[in-house]
Structure 1
Amino acid sequence: MDQVRVAVIGLGMGFSHARTLAAGRIAGGKLSAICDLNPAKQEEAKATLPSDVKIWNDADALIASGEIDAVIIATPHYAHPQVAIKCLSHGLHVLIEKPAGVYTKQVREMNLAAASSGKVFSIMYNQRCNPLYKKLRELIADGELGEIRRMNWIVTNWYRSQSYYDSGGWRATWGGEGGGVLINQSPHQLDLWQWTTGMMPKRIRAFCSFGKYRNIEVEDDVTAYAEYENGATAVFITTTGEAPGTNRYEVTGDRGKIVIEDGKLTFWRLRVPEPEFNQQYTGGFGEPECWKCDVPISGDNPQHSGIIQNFMDAIRQGTPLIAPGEEGIHGLTLSNAMHLSTWTDHWVDLPLDEDLYYELLQERIAQSSSQKTVREVGPVDMSKTFGTY
């Protein structure tokens, strides 16, 4: 395929992707269509995008039109799996925005549809393009850090004011977004947490506060503790209510410690692995010799355009995906587990009880103040649900 005809559905975050394609910044990709229910967004698209880009307000009709080869889905969270399954069933390649969905049960259905479709399926985990996290993943995979013992991620630089939440009736509601800081702001960190280490926990205990700092119904402050099969532990802390915020990711192994903070990767490398030192040392007080290494990071960070280009290359040339869509379920599993642990006031074992999570989520959706509630996943008129996000 010389050129992939791409449509963008949802012109909130999707407008940026549409402009990237329209500007010719993606080799092998052409923006052929956009779809949004909001007339104002349609007019903005007409005024700012090339005249040959067809504007639709009916997602079903666009998907079935035969005029496109691939779709970038930037709809509200609940609709990601629904639209993706519809697109895949019509033989279209799919790139979804994060998160993969709101709950793993619906995402699992999407993954099954993608696996049987034979089409390219990717997710917008653009932070996987960041050379800092790529280097961390490489160092861990190569054994430089040894066996992982502890992970700590404090990501509290997601400050959001009350006016931000008041800007849309769907924001920070169970019916509109399906969660708060975990589902909206932190999906990238939840993905990177498991992607860089190659590990998923065996159980999680979390403490989510709902509307702690803002007048919202979902979580805006989270502290979670996770345990792993090899004995490693992790703490994940995030909030939208603190200023100034911190973003510090620390991974400790038996060969040292790696910290990513302020755009730098620092490796405190032990000259002798801790278990070996402990076995041999007889001097009482003492610790292994440690070298502070500022690891050079090379390469650019193409962010969203890097994922879109990779998506095009996978369609045209079979290039391996940076972020396969099926992997979106991992980070979502972590956020679902944190919600479930808080709702039940108990540990949650992984794999989690997806039916219980769905049941308890539905209870919250039924009481949600959202003006754009999606109560069930099932047959719906997509032209009336997939508007501006």
Structure 2
Amino acid sequence: MSTVRIGIVGLGNMGKGHAQYLIEGQVKGAVLAAVSDVRPESLELAKQTWGDQLLTYASASEMFRSGEIDGVLICTPHYDHPKMTIEALEAGLHVLVEKPAGVYTKQVREMNEVAAKSGKVFGIMYNQRTNPLYAKLKELISSGELGEVRRTNWIITNWYRPQAYYNSGGWRATWAGEGGGVLINQDPHQLDLWQWTTGLMPKRIRAFCGFGKHRSIEVENDVTAYVEYENGATGVFVTSTYECPGTNRFEISGDRGKIVIENDRMTFWRLRQLESEFNRTNTESFAQPECWQFDIPITPGGAQHKEITQDWTNAILHGKPLLAPGEEGIKGLTISNAMLLSTWIDDWVELPINEDLFYEKLQERIALSTVSSGQGESR
């Protein structure tokens, strides 16, 4: 195979965006061969926009079985991600799925098991992993430059959404339509980066979620969570969609100092000596380790969505390892599920979570939801 023929399922905002850069030839070794959408008007517009040579299907299943594509990019509503991925893998296709991996880990775990047996390349659209800021942070932490991580703190409250945004689709901000709010819709990238850059998954979580806070919606739009890690480190994650102006500040404290990412800059307060070593040898009551403050130079780049698609294409054609393996989508989702479950039961949640209990609690909320199923694509 010299070229990967890609099909796209779902022509919402993200699906159309992926289609455009593929049509423009911005991904080497890949071509857009077909699209699928349940809305006839979307398929007609695709033909008008990208030409009559583009194959269109009203049924994703039909496209999967057509023999006209080698891989598929899934851009459907959240609940459909696992079942679409499973169907495509079982049809012998490589899969790149939009985030989040799904709504609940029980379903995503099944998807991962199918992927592991398929022999196909399975990726997830974690495009923020291409951001040079977070790539550099991961490098610094994994190399030991920061020392052992002791505390993480992410305030991500610049996801401002007015009521008009929620009113624009009946499926938005509903348990049946999206399966959650800010954690499942806006924050999947941050929840992924939180664990990916530090290399740490929480061992337990205590969260407090506000549902419909300052907005007329069903789901969570305000979250404050405290986490504990196996190595004794702790973390805090704060997010919302109603604060204006909001903040996006990620701070990681380690044995060698602290790193802060804010306003597209990375600042390192680096201790000349490990704090643990200083503390062991120091004899002065109010002494502190010598500390240097400087900005970490960041190489420009990070092509976001098309870079992940290129990475996936390279894995298919050349066997290169994925930057964002699809199986890793369950990690950030586990954290968000745990935050919701902690709020629902008003208690700590140990990881791995009780998947059956989460599913049961989610179904209770879906039963009371204002819509019966997802009708669109959320961002």
Q: TM-score range by the shorter chain?
A: over 0.9
- Give 1:28's aligned residue: 29
Letter in 2 for 1:171: R
2:182 counterpart SS class: coil
Q: Which residue of 2 aligns with 1:193?
A: 194
Give the letter aligned to residue 160 of structure 1. R
SS in structure 2 of the partner of residue 182 of structure 1: helix
Question: Equivalents in 1 of 2:164, 2:39: separation in Å?
Answer: 22
Q: CA deviation at 1:349?
A: 0.2
**Sequence identity percentage:** 64
**Corresponding residue of 2:225:** 224
Q: Deviations over 1:82-136 (max 9, x none)?
A: 0000000010000000000000000000000000000000000000000100000
Number of the residue aligned with 2:150: 149
Q: Matches of 1:68 and 1:112 in 2, distance apart?
A: 23
> How far, CA to CA, are the matches of 2:266 and 2:338 in structure 1?
29
* Matched AA of 1:254: D
Over the aligned positions, Cα root-mean-square deviation in angstroms equals: 1.1
Query: Which residue in 1 is equivalent to 2:7?
Result: 7
Match of 1:107 in 2: 108
Partner of residue 206, structure 2: 205
1:63 and 2:64 equivalent? yes
| CA drift at 1:388 | 6.0
**What is the aligned residue count?**
377
AA at the equivalent of 1:86? E
CA contact (8 A) 1:37 1:388 kept: no
TM-aligned CA deviation for residue 371 of structure 1: 4.4
How many Å separate the matches in 2 of 1:202 and 1:25?
Answer: 41
Query: Which aligned pairs between 1:33-112 and structure 2 lie closer than 5 A?
Result: 33-112=34-113
* DSSP 3-state at the match of 1:14: helix
Number of the residue aligned with 2:318: 317
Deviation, 1:39, is: 2.4
Residue in 2 aligned with 1:340? 341
Corresponding residue of 1:380: none
SS at match of 1:177: coil
Check the 8 A contact 1:3/1:28 in 2, yes or no.
Answer: yes
Alignment of 1:296-307 (within 5 A): 296-307=297-308
Residues 209 and 219, structure 1, Cα contact 8 Å, conserved in 2: yes
CA deviations over 1:172-216 (Å, ceiling 9, x no partner): 000010000000000000000000011101000000000012100
> Could you tell me how far 1:59 is from its partner in structure 2?
1.1
Map of 1:161 onto structure 2: 162
**Structure-2 residue corresponding to 1:264:** 265
Q: CA deviation at 1:43?
A: 2.4
Give the superposition deviation at 1:265. 0.8
Shift of 1:233: 0.2
Inter-partner Cα distance in structure 2 for 1:336 and 1:15 = 29
Question: Which whole-Å CA distance do the structure 2 matches of 1:143 and 1:305 have between them?
Answer: 31
- What is the alpha-carbon distance in structure 2 between the residues aligned to residue 317 and residue 311 of structure 1? 10
Counterpart check, 1:295 vs 2:296: yes
Question: In 1, Cα distance between the equivalents of 2:214 and 2:125?
Answer: 29
Query: What 5-or-longer segments of structure 1 have no aligned partner?
Result: 374-384
SS of alignment partner, residue 190 of structure 2 = helix
Deviates more, 1:215-224 or 1:50-59: 50-59
**Amino acid paired to 2:64:** I
Q: What do residues 268-312 of structure 1 show as CA deviations (whole Å, max 9, x unaligned)?
A: 000111111112222211211100021111140100000000011
In 1, distance between residues paired with 2:274 and 2:199?
21
* Runs of 4+ residues deviating >6 angstroms: none
Q: Distance in 2 between matches of 1:292 and 1:43?
A: 56
CA drift of 1:42 comes to: 1.7
Distance in 1 of aligned mates of 2:221 and 2:119: 39
Corresponding residue for residue 248 of structure 1: 249
After superposition, the C-alpha distances for 1:40-75 in whole angstroms (9 at most, x for unaligned) are 322221221132111111111111111110000000
Tell me which residue corresponds to 2:176. 175
TM-score, normalised with respect to structure 2: 0.98
Match of residue 371 from structure 2: 370
- With over 3 angstroms needed to count, the CA separation of the structure-2 counterparts of 1:40 and 1:371, relative to structure 1, is farther
Deviates more, 1:56-65 or 1:306-315: 56-65
Determine helix, strand or coil for the equivalent of 1:327. helix
TM-score (norm 1): 0.95
Matches of 1:201 and 1:388, distance apart in 2: 30
Distance in 2 separating the partners of 1:157 and 1:188: 14
Counterpart in the other structure of 1:378:
none
